[in-house]
Structure 1
Amino acid sequence: ASPNRELHPQLLSPTKAGPRKGHLRHKSTSSTLCPAVCPAAGHTLTPDKEGKEVDTTLFAEFQAWRESPTLDKTCPFLERVYREDVGPCLDFTMQELSALVRAAVEDNTLTIEPVASQTPPTAKVAAVECGSTNTCALSGLARACRHRIRLGDSENHYYISPSSRARITAVCNFLTYIRYIQQGLVRQEAEPMFWEITRLRKEMSLAKLGFFPQEA
């Protein structure tokens, strides 16, 4: 599927002849703020008016990765994110299924579907459904499950709770953005790109802690 450019305005438009820069974050010009300098990149980073401040170590790792984007998890930038965010976010109680989910997410072959209001025929349920709509297949907790997941080409479906769905979605959103960068679809300066990655990491942390949007 094509990237949604309304959700990601920084993506390169295919109708443009050349690259263009996305919307850059407005930087504070207050004389009371002392710019931080990243020694590795030789780049001056100005804390913005919301009180955020770039971690120079993380930014240096990101800059090094951005010079030659890769999906290799052993590079310092991605190794840190996988260790601190992706791994914990996809570490569910049901370890065997958890490992399968993580592999499918990394391979971009996991599908999340809403649970149909009409129950399929009994024979079909026995063949492809795993668990019930009252128990999350990943956490093992009794929860109302309005979505189910399918891994790769498997015909098996697993019901998941809103919390488990939020955790999977948060990781997928991060990896999607990383793939956009790796494919050259993102046209931004380093700092706003870094802050978008930081926001996505924050979403993974919140999801891991149990926060998720209420479903209608």
Structure 2
Amino acid sequence: MVREANVKAFKSEKALVESNMKVDGLQTEVAALKALVITSTPSKPNRHLHPQLDRKRSADRRSGSSAPGSPAKERLVEGAEEVDVKEKYIDPVLRAEYMQWKKLPNLEPGNPFLSRVFAEDIDPCLEFTNKELGARVKEAVIQNTLCLDPVKDDEDLPRNCSLFEQPRRCSHRLTFGDADKQSHYISHLARNRIAAVCDFLTYCRYVTQGLVKAHCNEVYWEIMLRRRNMAIARLGFLN
């Protein structure tokens, strides 16, 4: 009888403890729900109550875009390498010029948006010691007639860059279309600077041809990414 009483007492104490734990858990859940309801406002919605916001945020991260004027922290993947991107803010003057250009996109450097990009990015990126050859390179890049080819591994690499006119290991050669077969050997740095400008103009060319089917915000940040790449290439950080 004593043993049965002890077993019943043990079961009763165990049930009491479990009940108290359930009560504590329910109280915690109620408090959390109250906090969710209180802190969720139209200007600052709580993402637990609005899961579509998280889906939108994930989509923006994949596309590399963000809402106008709002900072966004993300990681952009270039090839197999992840690149940290700090908070981004839209320049209102630049965006106004971009939106005006986006209404009727073209590659004429006279419009305010492209004129700014040429002055701030393209011209400095294509400024070389050999002024004459540099001018030909710039014209060919704009006309999309420039050819860049890597030097074959079995060739002896030249040691003088035609653009910088300095002793440099030349990994690439450039030619000006099919009409001109003359090759000019250039260093990897010169190649990176030219390639970054070509990438920018090629993307803008796709936009003008209607091949880019994306929201204007996404296009804006894609263009800004290519401007960033031109600045990095000019400073010698791209491989």
- TM-score, structure 1 as length reference: 0.72
Question: How far, CA to CA, are the matches of 1:95 and 1:166 in structure 2?
Answer: 18
Question: How far, CA to CA, are the matches of 1:26 and 1:91 in structure 2?
Answer: 35
- The one-letter code matched in structure 2 to 1:156 is Q
Any idea what the Cα deviations from partners look like across 1:180-203, whole Å, max 9, x if unmatched?
Answer: 000001111111111111110011
- TM-score, structure 2 as length reference: 0.65
Map residues 14-163 of structure 1 onto 2, 5 A cutoff.
Answer: 25-26=60-61, 44-49=68-73, 50-118=86-154, 133-152=158-177, 153-163=179-189
Percent identical across equivalent pairs? 41
Q: Is the 8 A contact 1:24 1:188 kept in 2?
A: no
Distance 1:46 1:119, change over 3 A: closer
| RMSD of aligned residue pairs (Cα, Å) | 2.2
More deviation, 164-173/148-157 = 148-157
Aligned length: 166
Gaps of at least 5 residues in structure 2 are: 1-57, 74-85
Question: How far, CA to CA, are the matches of 1:171 and 1:141 in structure 2?
Answer: 22
Distance 1:44 1:174, change over 3 A: closer
Question: How far, CA to CA, are the matches of 1:71 and 1:81 in structure 2?
Answer: 11
After TM superposition, which residue ranges in structure 1, 4 or more long, deviate above 3 angstroms?
Answer: 117-120
Tell me the CA shift for residue 116 of structure 1.
2.6
Distance 1:184 1:75, change over 3 A: same
Question: How far, CA to CA, are the matches of 1:212 and 1:53 in structure 2?
Answer: 24
Any idea what the Cα deviations from partners look like across 1:113-172, whole Å, max 9, x if unmatched?
Answer: 11134459xxxxxxxxxxx71110000111111110001220100000000000000000
* Larger helix percent: 2
Q: Which has the higher contact order (CA 8 A, sep 6+)?
A: 1
Alignment-derived partner of residue 46 in structure 2: none
Question: How far, CA to CA, are the matches of 2:234 and 2:153 in structure 1?
Answer: 28
Gaps of at least 5 residues in structure 1 are: 1-22, 28-34, 36-42, 121-131
